[in-house]
Structure 1
């Protein structure tokens, strides 16, 4: 995911522990490089994390020697922006509480555009007073909404991903249908985007489909993970036939070797099903 700035540019000291390939750019922007998540936490009052999967969250947060909670001082706050498991978010919150700290599960939605522009929807679960206190920091990322107790942010993000997946499927099929009918795809999108079919998903992904720009945005393998959590979690609705179909379609992208491409690449699955070659 892109970022619109570093904390250092807003006047906050910003020790970081990113992937090695991203470290140089962050350090050049004013961050300082730490040797472990625990070292980041020891130098911070608030630690933001965003990694790929629940297993990554467990490793960087709960590791007894090098994890964030091993270094965070009493009263410190962990803000996990990973799209992760509600049950793990509750486990992290309990571990933070036992250490005299606070944890907020705070996944985000808005894609690379929202990250770049600082307009992300931020879905926060945890102690409401802590989320309110974090407001000035979260405002640099987008618009925070308090969703409820620990795990509520993650449950909200899973629900969000169901809606996004369905919308991407709809736009993909609509664009493929229009093109096969001989209609100019860009003209079609411009015509319907201000009507009932218009959506934020269409605005972000529609023209990228038309331009065959499949490498910009979040990798499809992550929405497969998120939809899997929707289907496998023991909380919430149990019968989600649309979600199961959406996951199957995005999984087809992964099976085709396109798991690192972005959501708009789903149109290639629709085209393959219809024998359309581009």
Structure 2
């Protein structure tokens, strides 16, 4: 960690050029907030049709990650899986690092592997640049409203210099050295997975007991059972709204990375039976063809197990 900020000049819409790669449900909502704050945005997406709303707000579409790198001071990525990050940032002939300018900062919002975050940080430093791993939590609603929790790992002075941008998206927290943001997100997903399972089983039990599910939700959400997971997803589960804020298949990925860290860590990391069970249940969603549903669709697995779906 450095105590000397390599970027003494503040970030401003008039002087700071922003690049953005990844325009899915979360990425598009987050990028639109950067645009709305007055920043110039250069974007790349593997599916250009997903960028139409951002282009209508003034974003400029280019044909490769390297073109984004050539014209940006700060580059955000919000992709699906660690192999996507590796290809876009590191290994593609047209990758970000193939054409990056010295001093550029890469911010990866993808939920990815801590080891990959460390590799990207070291590769960026070799190019006289910086990288920050900054996965987020809060789903599509948090992305739209600028209320995401942002878990940032990397050089502390660089992360804190980025706070004006992060604050447009939500609440940033500095977690430690490179990879720490990703480790924080994995721990977050372990917690969210358990909460979604509890909420799913609570709703199924309430219905089997003859309770009105909405009435039950209102009764318990102010007590010890209440959580942001319940606030975000309770009524959506009851209303069968399984539109994705985060895909169920991504939860399988995130929990799998946590279990992978456990396997690599030997005795240094605790056994995680709940995470293993959650991964198995979300994997059942994927096996049922529901991997593109939102994570709140976990209730369908519990319903199937009870012969209700």
Whether TM exceeds 0.5 here: the answer is yes
Is the 1:45–1:72 contact (alpha carbons within 8 Å) kept by the matching residues of 2?
no
Structure 2 residue 269 is matched with structure 1 residue 237 = yes
Q: Which residue among 149, 157, 160 is the counterpart of 2:185?
A: 157
The 3 A distance-change label for structure 1 pair 155 and 245 is same
How large is the Cα RMSD of the aligned pairs?
1.2
**Post-superposition CA distance 1:197-239 (Å, at most 9, x none):** 0000001111111001112421100000000001112246241
SS where residue 66 of structure 1 aligns? Answer: coil
- How far off is 1:6 after superposition? 4.2
Residue in 2 that maps onto 1:17: 44
Is the 1:118–1:141 contact (alpha carbons within 8 Å) kept by the matching residues of 2?
yes
- How far off is 1:41 after superposition? 1.1
- How far off is 1:35 after superposition? 1.3
Distance in structure 1 (CA, Å) of the matches to 2:141 and 2:38? 23
- How far off is 1:117 after superposition? 0.3
Structure 2 residue 111 is matched with structure 1 residue 83 = yes
Aligned residues: 277
**TM superposition outliers: structure 1 runs of 4+ over 4 Å:** none
Residue in 1 that maps onto 2:20: none
Is the 2:244–2:292 contact (alpha carbons within 8 Å) kept by the matching residues of 1?
no
- How far off is 1:63 after superposition? 2.6
Distance in structure 2 (CA, Å) of the matches to 1:80 and 1:126? 11
Q: TM-score, normalised by structure 2?
A: 0.87
Unaligned stretches of 5+ residues in structure 1: none
Is the 1:6–1:31 contact (alpha carbons within 8 Å) kept by the matching residues of 2?
no
Is the 1:231–1:244 contact (alpha carbons within 8 Å) kept by the matching residues of 2?
yes
Distance in structure 1 (CA, Å) of the matches to 2:64 and 2:162? 23
- How far off is 1:38 after superposition? 1.0
**Post-superposition CA distance 1:106-135 (Å, at most 9, x none):** 000011111010010000000000001101
The 3 A distance-change label for structure 1 pair 100 and 64 is farther
Unaligned stretches of 5+ residues in structure 2: 1-24
Distance in structure 2 (CA, Å) of the matches to 1:41 and 1:6? 20
Distance in structure 2 (CA, Å) of the matches to 1:200 and 1:6? 22
SS where residue 40 of structure 2 aligns? Answer: coil
Structure 2 residue 216 is matched with structure 1 residue 188 = yes
- How far off is 1:64 after superposition? 5.4
1:1-278 aligned within 5 A? 1-2=25-26, 3=29, 5-18=32-45, 19-63=47-91, 65-233=93-261, 234-235=264-265, 237-277=269-309
